[in-house]
Structure 1
Amino acid sequence: MKLQHHLGGIENLGPVNTDTRVFVEPWEKRIFGIHTVMMAESVHLAEARHAYPVAQLPTTFGNTWTWASLRTGAEDMQPFEYFKYRYYEKWLGGIAQFFVDQGYITAQELAEKSAHYLRQPDAALPDKPNAALGAQIDAYLLNGDSGYNELDTAARFKVGDTVRIADPEAVDHTRLPGYLRSKKGTVDVVYPGAFSYFVSTGVDGIGQPMPVYRIAFDAADLWGPGKSEAHTTIYADLYEAYVDAVN
């Protein structure tokens, strides 16, 4: 994961935006909606715990699209480009590039459609309501796509254990925040069951289902007492692949 995706503890980055609104501009809701529809039509739902009629959906979408797909699209951005755009602009860039890469639309067609709506922002958008897709989206929003699994063996750690966070080889995508690497923490919760991620991260360690822990860190242990408020605890949910025993 490149620099721009885990900035915790890095100095001189300027003021933090504390705006609590989920959507700042109306168009951001549409980008979120596009992403949600893509996930609700994704072929990976055929293997979800909740039964979805993926093969019967009236759609031409035939790919897997998950949160991992969205994040990978943003992480592929050149860092200087990344900082130029708003949050949902990054989403739009990743989604648009995905459709071009998968052959749903050409780059030229995308440019032409974009130019059309820039010239005519009030022009009608395609509207093809479909009851079956609507029902699928509703079901997905209610049931999700997580894969809960029973543990074959006991979790390695228990509540109260002091652990050290791993420092695996850098890969294209990780679920380990950079500022937690090699830090000590305390197991606060051992979540029941086992969990996998949408894609394997390879040498990073996420693949087959495994336990997930909530680890507590003293903020001063992460960033130093001079850069942390006293008596502040940072919590992180981490896959077991990222958690090591303290030697």
Structure 2
Amino acid sequence: MKLQHYLGGLEGLPEPLTLEKRVFVEEWEKRIFGIHVAMMGLSNHLGAALPAYPIDEVPTAFKDEWTWADLRTGAEAMNPFDYFKFRYYEKWLGGITQFFIDKGYVTEEELAQRMTELAPDAEADVVPAIDDQVIAYLRLGDSPRRDVAHPKFAVGAEVRITNVPADAHSRLPGYLRGRVGTVERVFEGDYGYFTHTGDGIGDPMPIYIVEFDPAEIWGPRAEGGPLKLYAELFEAYLAPIEEES
């Protein structure tokens, strides 16, 4: 992932951040969360999800795929300075808005006009609506699990984290690239990521919890004590140590 998403191990950062502990700071943030959930509940990817949805038969004007990967990709595409400037749901709003513009659901001119209509002193005519399919999604969820696990690595195996080429979106923390760790757990299934990122993930594969010694990651600057770091990683990001010979 890009700089703004994984700061672990970087030196010269400002003093510790003051983190917002409220889930929603403003009322509109609840609405953008609801829009995101509705988009996921109507997404084309649900045709392959478990439990299965007859998504092709759902009467909706939304005809695209929207998953957590799409939301994350939008946030990661932001200029790092903008990323640190905006709050959590402001990043969501920007990514979702750009998605609807890019896909042709709305134009920038239409958005500007709507913003004028919904100015603080204007009467809003927003009518809330919840699609039956969205309700089904909220009740049943979906799952990236596609099969039982078929792992290449067993618990206790020593592995090196790959240094795959950077892509627009990744689930590999940058500070783990090239580091050596030990498989602590193998999850029960093979899991897809819905979106093919270009750095090896997308198709169903095992997921592992890998244990790292902080000294392996940060060297002599690592804090002392009985500390360990754990990361959940797709199998595409793991390589056997013996391959190095």
- Output the amino acid matched with 1:69: D
1:140 aligns with 2:141: no
Return the offset for 1:91.
0.6
Report the 3-state secondary structure (helix = DSSP H, G, I; strand = E; otherwise coil) of the residue aligned with 1:224: helix
After superposing the two structures, state which structure 1 stretch, 62-71 or 225-234, moved more: 225-234
Match of 2:213 in 1: 218
Structure 2 portions without partners, runs of 5+:
none
- Output the amino acid matched with 1:231: P
- Output the amino acid matched with 1:77: M
Closer/same/farther in 2, CA of residues 123 and 56 from structure 1, 3 Å limit: farther
CA deviations over 1:42-92 (Å, ceiling 9, x no partner): 121122121223233332111111111111111221222222211111110
Match of 1:181 in 2: 177
Closer/same/farther in 2, CA of residues 53 and 229 from structure 1, 3 Å limit: farther
Which residue of 213, 231, 237 corresponds with 1:236? 231
Return the offset for 1:174.
0.8
Report the 3-state secondary structure (helix = DSSP H, G, I; strand = E; otherwise coil) of the residue aligned with 1:193: strand
Given that residues 218 and 231 in structure 1 are in contact (C-alpha distance below 8 angstroms), is that contact kept between their aligned partners in structure 2? no
Closer/same/farther in 2, CA of residues 65 and 125 from structure 1, 3 Å limit: farther
Return the offset for 1:36.
0.5
State the distance in 1 between where 2:42 and 2:65 align.
8
- The structure 1 segments of at least 4 consecutive aligned residues displaced by more than 4 Å after TM superposition are none
1:23 aligns with 2:24: yes
Closer/same/farther in 2, CA of residues 21 and 219 from structure 1, 3 Å limit: farther
Return the offset for 1:227.
4.3
Given that residues 194 and 203 in structure 2 are in contact (C-alpha distance below 8 angstroms), is that contact kept between their aligned partners in structure 1? no
Structure 2 counterparts to residues 86-105 of structure 1, below 5 A: 86-105=87-106
State the distance in 2 between where 1:74 and 1:244 align.
29
| RMSD across aligned positions (CA) | 2.0
1:123 aligns with 2:130: no
- Output the amino acid matched with 1:174: S
1:192 aligns with 2:188: yes
State the distance in 1 between where 2:153 and 2:141 align.
28
Report the 3-state secondary structure (helix = DSSP H, G, I; strand = E; otherwise coil) of the residue aligned with 1:186: strand
Structure 1 portions without partners, runs of 5+:
none
Given that residues 151 and 210 in structure 1 are in contact (C-alpha distance below 8 angstroms), is that contact kept between their aligned partners in structure 2? no
Match of 1:53 in 2: 54
Q: Percent identity?
A: 52
TM-score by length of 1: 0.89
State the distance in 1 between where 2:116 and 2:230 align.
45
Given that residues 191 and 212 in structure 1 are in contact (C-alpha distance below 8 angstroms), is that contact kept between their aligned partners in structure 2? yes
Provide the aligned length of Structure 1 versus Structure 2: 241
Match of 1:163 in 2: 159
